[in-house]
Amino acid sequence: MEIILKEKIKEAVKTIYNSELKDDLIQIQETRKDFKGDFTLVVFPLLRFSKNTPEKTGEMIGKYLTDNFPSVAGFNVIKGFLNLEISDSWWIESFRKLSAEKNHLETCQVKDPETILVEYSSPNTNKPLHLGHIRNNLLGYSLYRILLGCGHRVIKTNIVNDRGIHICKSMLAWLKFGNSETPESSGMKGDHLVGKYYVLFEQKYRIQIDNLIKEGMDEAEAKNAAPLMQETRAMLLKWEAGDKDVVDLWKMMNSWVYTGFDETYKKLGVDFDKIYYESDTYKVGKDIVLKALNDKILYRNEDSSIWADLTPDGLDQKLLLRSDGTAVYMTQDLGTAVDRYREYEFDRNIYVVGNEQNYHFQVLKVLLKRMGYEWADGLSHFSYGMVELPEGRMKSREGTIVDADDLIREMQVTAKEVSLELGKLSDFSEEEKEDIFRIIGMGALKYFILKVDPKKNMTFNPAESIDFNGNTGPFIQYTYTRIKSVFRKAEQMEINTDHIKFSGAKAGPKEIELIKLLRKFSETVTAAAAGYSPALIANYCYELSREYNQFYHDFSILGEIDEDTRNLRLILSKVTSEVIFRGMWLLGIEMPERM
């Protein structure tokens, strides 16, 4: 309709003012909800042609459109804005065409598909996945599906931080205090077991620091001089030198963690096409750094550490190799980026990483560009805010993280309790019930996190997320199953819903509102892909579900006597269910057929 309106407005200006109007002067937007209308024309750019007031100009163009374009049923002018009302018959006809199209859910098909890498998860092998990782994984996986749905070639990647000083902390603590404990002997998931020793290291380390401070050192000196830290640094050097005992221990403990991670990823419903490991890519990074040093792009400090001077770019001095030759995070990220480009020659590489790393990714892009990698322009940081529980922020060193496995389990238990209270699962088998509880619990968790603008910090409230009313996953899932129930009843009534048509149906305001919303699905997905915002799709699904439920409450569908009207409402219901299903699929959320 916007395209048609533009042509008609050009025609109006040509006829009334004898002037040719260029497209860039025609500003059409959706009418604000507090005004009557569907589309609004901004009149101010047209005053150069009318030589009149905004109100008079709007009146003249509005009258021309209603007189010469039957699809415009009415208009009103508010200051410099012409609000146009589109006729019900146009909305119904547009819906007829939409519902008849086989590919009406093929949204956001780009003309020039790109190869896009989406990196998400990025866990450390010294602790289990936690609530922050849940937001990261859900955002990354949903972004992958949205971009895939737009026609791009998308590769899901993960970089596992499996080396470095923090990993050695868990290894040293296990050696000193573990008594050969294993996941099998302890009954703990491997990632939880390794995380236990990371916390234990920090506790013992803190005691050593406090003792050294009592002996007269300041805190910085004490942290550096503590025996545990000295041993950890020595272990890291041995690891990088390939010491067999250290490497074997590292492989064993990492294998425990990977088994644990895989279980959690499966519960979350996310996966990866390619997993990179820092233990591999840091070597590539070191080679890149040494070459850049040789090319005089970098400099060596007096203590033999290697740095980049980024002050000409408005940044600071950046360490790339420590004085003992060990690598830092930036070294690894340089190697990973180069490795990925060699393998995929991507157009874009999107890093789904929290906003505390904004500066890191600024530096990464500048460094790669300075080193001659022009494709670094395709690097993009999908920066998102922190996530907390109502109790406050998590601290992994202190062992106060909100464990992902515990939260997933809690969501399913809560879903079970709420579902049983509603008492609608009496005819389900126990196996079916448990699957429903899982789908509802995970839907609640995923939706509550994804409905928030990724850029914003958020508080995850498990109790609010599971509510079957309001802006929640279970509410949308229930709406979908309600529509499925309508079609099961139609089948019992021997109504063939596969080939129904409507020809003379008259739509009321509720049907028209649903049609308008359904037509917005494609543009919503397009905007979500452009802005890296699954929240746009999540909130669209809620708005559509809410509108459908009001329609369902106010009007009979199968009980409607007029066949054309009944068929219109059935097709509206069918397309609504398809759009909800597709929208939630883009978010990575399963939909039950009954609940």
Q: What is the pLDDT along the chain (595 residues), one digit of tens a residue?
A: 888 999 999 999 999 999 998 888 999 999 998 899 999 999 999 999 999 999 999 999 999 999 999 999 999 999 889 999 999 889 988 888 888 776 766 667 778 999 999 999 999 999 999 999 999 999 999 999 999 999 999 999 999 999 989 999 999 999 999 999 999 999 999 999 999 999 999 999 999 999 999 999 999 999 999 999 999 999 999 998 999 999 999 999 999 999 999 999 999 999 999 999 999 999 999 999 999 999 999 999 999 999 999 999 999 999 999 998 888 899 999 999 999 999 999 999 999 999 999 999 999 999 999 999 999 999 999 999 998 877 654 444 444 568 899 999 999 998 888 888 877 777 888 899 999 999 999 999 999 999 999 999 998 888 788 888 889 999 999 999 999 999 999 999 988 888 787 776 778 889 999 999 998 999 899 999 999 999 999 999 999 999 999 999 999 999 988 888 899 999 999 999 999 999 999 999 999 998 8
| Alpha carbons 172 and 159: distance in angstroms, whole number | 23
| Alpha carbons 88 and 96: distance in angstroms, whole number | 12
CA 226 remoteness from chain centre: 42
CA 166 remoteness from chain centre: 28
CA distances from 11 to 41, 137, 511 (A): 14, 51, 31
Set out the domains of the chain in order of their start, with CATH numbers.
2-86 (3.30.1360.70), 120-398 (3.40.50.620), 409-586 (1.10.730.10)
Residue 463: what residue type? A
Is the pTM of the predicted complex or chain greater than 0.75?
A: yes
Structure tokens at 503: 């020809």
Q: What are phi and psi of 151, to 5 degrees?
A: 100, 5
| Alpha carbons 576 and 501: distance in angstroms, whole number | 16
CA dihedral sign, ordered 528, 530, 531, 533: positive
| Alpha carbons 18 and 7: distance in angstroms, whole number | 15
